[in-house]
Amino acid sequence: MPSMVYKNKVRVRDKYRIVGFISSGTYGRVYKAVGWNGQTGDFAIKKFKPDKEGEVIQYTGISQSACREMALCSELSHPNVINLVEIILEDKCIFMVFEYAEHDLLQIIQHHTQPARHPIPASAIKSMLFQLLNGLLYLHRNWVLHRDLKPANIMVTSKGEVRIGDLGLARLFYKPLHSLFSGDKVVVTIWYRAPELLLGSKHYTPAVDLWAVGCIFAELLSLRPIFKGEEAKMDSKKTVPFQRNQVQKIVEVLGMPTKEKWPGLVHQPEFAQLQTVPYPRRDSGSAGPLGLDTWYWNTLRSANYQEGQPSGSPGQQGLDLLTSLLDYDPTKRMTAEEALHHPYFTANGEKVSANCFEGMTTQYPHRRVSQEDNDIRTASLPGTKKNGLPDDTLIGRPTKRLKE
Amino acid sequence: MAANYWASTQRLHWQFSRTELQDILQHLENEDPALTQQYPLLDRRLLSIFYNQQLVKLAKRMSIRQQALGTAQVYIRRFYTKVDVRNTNPYLILTTALYLACKMEESPQHIRVVVEHARSLWPDFIPSDVSRLGECEFYLISEMNSQLIIHHPYRTLQELQGRLDLVQDDVLVAWSIINDHYLTDLPLLFAPHVIAIAAIFLAMTLKQSSGGQQAAVNAAAYLTDSRQAIREGSSTVASNDNVPEKRIGSFVKWLAEGEVDLQAVADSMQEIISLYDVWDRYGEKTCKDQISHVVKARGLDK
């Protein structure tokens, strides 16, 4: 038979030596690799899980999310977006080779909770946030919604450069042929999910990513997820449940959204459900919603963020920015571009450092790489692994978002 | 990138000059001269019409949108700059291209459904085993270096519709001219906005004159001169006999004042006009027989 049989020209093992296993998820597994045979440097290789029929791996068609990630990563090029080196299709598997990033925001946050909680310096947070927004602005200008921003997906190199990673849920939003909702019913890991998504909005916008940025900002300050709800699971009929607990967590801090502040509220599909969310009322003995201001100043106080302290302080400007990012109304929520021009970043004419570790003495531990499972070919598939922890289960994080 | 054609892989890696494209295709044929000689093929443009007709049949059965169809057509064209047709089963290639295009245009179709429809059209050429289509998908993506996002002229057409106050008729004709341009090498030669402008201009000129194609040819030639004329402040432009309608004159003026490559627009118009000439020579059977012969003789359908 002539060449209608697919043969890859480049082989993973000819260019990369796998040194260990980093993490696994619904998509497959990520390995750390070093280049050889002329390829130099460290790499993260994302191997997409092939479908299996019995014990034999078959070509079953590439998942849409893998297609999107391959296509988008091939187009994207920005200092704050993870850099794709190449894609190798081999042995019925997809291998996406990325530059290696030593850290991620989740790992950094966790480092600051141990052994005792100690704050991430305000200047570092400012740089992380600025770089994150810069990458996000690039994505949005190119009509790409990320749709899964969370600390574990924000990579940081050893030089302190922030790289937005995991575009597995990202997609173009320029005049979609169908409403965005019809493709993926549930997007964004629950703690970072914007209110309009929680209320069932079908035509959502880049604003969903900005809500997630707000949540990440808050988490960098307090070292805990700000809205740590419990995810209601999909029932057997695969209807999308109303995430009452998650909404409640948001309401406890921000108060109930009102149609005065968010005129579109009443048109949200789950508006009726919202009325059933237990509301912390002042008059019924509870203290009422905390209010973002109170949350913020409490957080700053307990973390000992103060002007004059070594950690510095994000100050009033930080609160202003956070408030604008966590605006209930997606049409009023600050855009990435507006956020980058916010006084939080621009006041005093200082330039935000492109190295978020600048001036820091903290040494973050290297990414945990398991040595036992480093055969990229024969390694067991996710779910049957013997070693290494999936990134999301480290501290009881909610399971990865449901897809398609 | 995705929304920015100028930084896109389409512009950086899949846009060629005519000479470059000619060299690439020549190189493919030279790779295996014996094979090329053993299976002489018709004019690529005729084969393109054939592939397209097959693809449209499949797309219609599955109610695929035009944009996904366009994406599939560009995939096929790109793929055949990397691989000689004689080494492939075009029926499987175009089925796979459509399957992949639907995913990329966010209207996915199940692999089994695609294979079923394709088999009902070409039972002798599409293996029932869906994994063959899955394998072919790897082949396609690999040859295209995973560069799968396609910029289409439709977007420019929609944008210009409002800006230039185009009448509905012109838009419809321009739209179908854009549909036709996928049958030519134009997607590999020019930027989508150039194609869109060529289509609009053709739509205007084809309609306004009983001379039809001749008017379009004149218009293309006229366009080439017009920037020069406008730069020189000549007032003769608007009164040119070949293009009597004022509306067209103002469109050309708008064009000439912008940064659009008018030579490229004129070239695109010529290419489309000559497609319509080639089309007159097209016969489905000859193409079909030729393709069947190569595929069967070389066992590419297995």
Domain positions in chain B are 5-150+282-297, 153-280
pLDDT band at A101 (very low <50, low <70, confident <90, very high): very high
* Contact between residue A203 and residue A339 where contact means Cβ atoms under 8 Å apart: no
B 243-302: CB under 8 A from A: 298-300, 302
Query: Over the stretch B245-295, which tens digit does the pLDDT of each residue have?
Result: 667 777 777 887 778 888 999 999 999 999 988 888 898 898 999 999 999
Domain ranges across chain A: 12-101+369-383, 104-349
User: Please, which pLDDT band fits residue B217 given cuts at 50, 70 and 90?
Assistant: low
Find chain B residues with C-beta within 8 A of A177's C-beta. Answer: 65, 67-68, 105-107
**CATH class of the structural domain A12-101+369-383:** alpha beta
Do the domains B5-150+282-297 and B153-280 sit in the same CATH topology, yes or no? yes
| pLDDT tens, residue by residue, B88-140 | 999 999 999 999 999 999 889 999 999 999 999 999 999 999 999 999 999 99
Is a pLDDT exceeding 80 seen at residue A88? yes
In one-letter notation, the amino acid at residue B99 is Y
Give catalytic status of residue A148 as yes or no: yes
Chain mean pLDDT for chain B: 86
CATH number for the segment(s) A104-349: 1.10.510.10
What is the crossing angle of helices B18-31 and B66-82, to 10°? 60
Q: Which residues of B touch A9 (CB under 8 A)?
A: 142
Structure tokens at A385: 């692994």
Q: Which residues of A touch B78 (CB under 8 A)?
A: none
| Between B188 and A168, the higher pLDDT residue | B188
pLDDT for position B219: 65
Amino acid at residue number A100: Y
- For A383-393, what is the mean pLDDT? 32
Q: Report percent pLDDT > 90 for chain A.
A: 59
Q: Do the bridges between strand A93-99 and strand A84-90 make them parallel or antiparallel, or are there none, so unpaired?
A: antiparallel
More confident residue, B96 or A376: B96
Q: Which of A148, A166, A327, A392 is catalytic?
A: A148
What pLDDT score was predicted for residue A401?
45
Distance CA A33, CA A19 (A): 5
Check: CB of residue A80 under 8 Å from CB of residue A153.
Answer: no
Sign of the CA dihedral running B287, B288, B291, B294: negative
Please, which pLDDT band fits residue B244 given cuts at 50, 70 and 90?
Answer: very low
ipTM computed for the complex: 0.86
How far apart are the C-alpha atoms of A61 and A67, rounded to whole Å? 10
Average pLDDT of span A165-190: 63
Structure tokens at B263: 């030579």
pLDDT digits (tens, 9 = 90+) for A280-324: 765 555 667 889 999 999 999 999 898 877 778 999 999 999 999
- At CB < 8 A and 24+ separation, what contacts does B7-11 make? B7/A77, B8/A75, B8/B149, B8/B151, B9/A74, B9/A75, B9/B145, B9/B147, B9/B149, B10/B147, B10/B149, B10/B150, B10/B151, B11/B191
- Asked if pLDDT for residue B243 goes beyond 90, the answer is no
Query: Is CATH 1.10.472 the right assignment for the domain spanning B153-280?
Result: yes
How far apart, in Å, are the Cα atoms of A193 and each of A131, B144, B221? 21, 35, 57
Give the sign of the dihedral formed by CA B229, CA B234, CA B238, CA B239: negative
Q: What is the C-alpha to C-alpha distance for residues B150 and B181, in angstroms, rounded to an integer? A: 14
Q: What are the b/e assignments for B158-179, b being 16+ CB within 10 Å? A: eebbeebebeeebbebbbebbb
CATH superfamily of B5-150+282-297: Cyclin-like (1.10.472.10)
Q: Is B130 on the interface with A (CB under 8 A)?
A: yes
Mutation choice for B interface testing from A1, A4, A142 by most B CBs within 10 A: A4
Looking at residue B7, its amino acid is A
